[in-house]
Amino acid sequence: MAVEVDLHLHTLASDGTLSPTELVGLCAERGLKTIAVSDHDSTEGLQEAYAAARKHHGLEIIPAIELSTDVPGSEIHVLGYFIDTSDTAFQQTLTRFREGRYERGRLMVEKLVELGYSITWERVQEIAGDAAIGRPHIATAIVEAGYFKYSRDVFDSLIGRNGPAYVERAKLTPEDAIRMLRENGAVPVMAHPTYSAVKSDRGDVQSLEETLSHLKSHGLEGVEVFYGDYTPEQVSYLNDIADNLGLIACGGSDYHCSGNPDEPEPGSVGPPPQTVERLREAHHRIRGVPVSGS
Chain residues in the site for Fe ion (CB under 5 A): 66, 77, 191, 254
CB-nearer residue toward Fe ion: 121 or 215: 215
Q: How far is the CB of 270 from ligand AMP (least distance, A)?
A: 18
Q: Which of residues 132-191 bind ligand AMP (CB under 6 A)?
A: 134-136, 151-152, 155
Spell out the residues 6+ positions from residue 237 whose beta carbon is closer than 8 angstroms to its own.
194
d(CA 4, CA 194): 23
The footprint of ligand AMP on this chain (CB under 6 A) covers a number of residues equal to 15
CB-nearer residue toward Zn ion: 12 or 24: 12
d(CA 20, CA 56): 13
CB-nearer residue toward Fe ion: 77 or 283: 77
Phi/psi for 126 (5° steps) reads -60, -45
CB-nearer residue toward ligand AMP: 29 or 168: 168
Partner interacting with residue 68 (select from ligand AMP, Zn ion, Fe ion, none; CB below 5-8 Å by kind) = ligand AMP
CB-nearer residue toward Zn ion: 156 or 183: 156
CB-nearer residue toward Zn ion: 202 or 283: 202
Q: Does 263 engage in binding with Zn ion (CB under 5 A)? A: no
Output DSSP code: residue 86: T
Identify the helix (H) or strand (E) that includes residue 46. helix 46-54
Partner interacting with residue 179 (select from Fe ion, Zn ion, ligand AMP, none; CB below 5-8 Å by kind) = none
Per CB under 6 A, the list member of 8, 179, 256, 283 interacting with ligand AMP is 256
Output DSSP code: residue 225: E
Q: How far is the CB of 213 from ligand AMP (least distance, A)?
A: 25
Beta strands in 14-59 (DSSP E): 34-37
Using alpha carbons, list the distances in angstroms from residue 239 to 79, 242, 243.
Answer: 18, 5, 6
Q: How far is the CB of 28 from ligand AMP (least distance, A)?
A: 23
Classify 140 in phi/psi space as left (phi over 0), alpha (psi -120 to 50) or beta.
Answer: alpha
d(CA 188, CA 159): 28
Burial of 31 (0-12, 13-18, 19+ CB in 10 A): exposed
Across-strand partners of 224?
250
Per CB under 6 A, the list member of 15, 44, 48, 175 interacting with ligand AMP is 15
Partner interacting with residue 69 (select from ligand AMP, Fe ion, Zn ion, none; CB below 5-8 Å by kind) = none
How far the first Cα of the chain sits from its last, in Å, is 41
Q: Does 15 engage in binding with Zn ion (CB under 5 A)? A: yes
Interacting residues with ligand AMP (CB under 6 A): 15, 40, 68, 134-136, 151-152, 155, 199-202, 256, 260
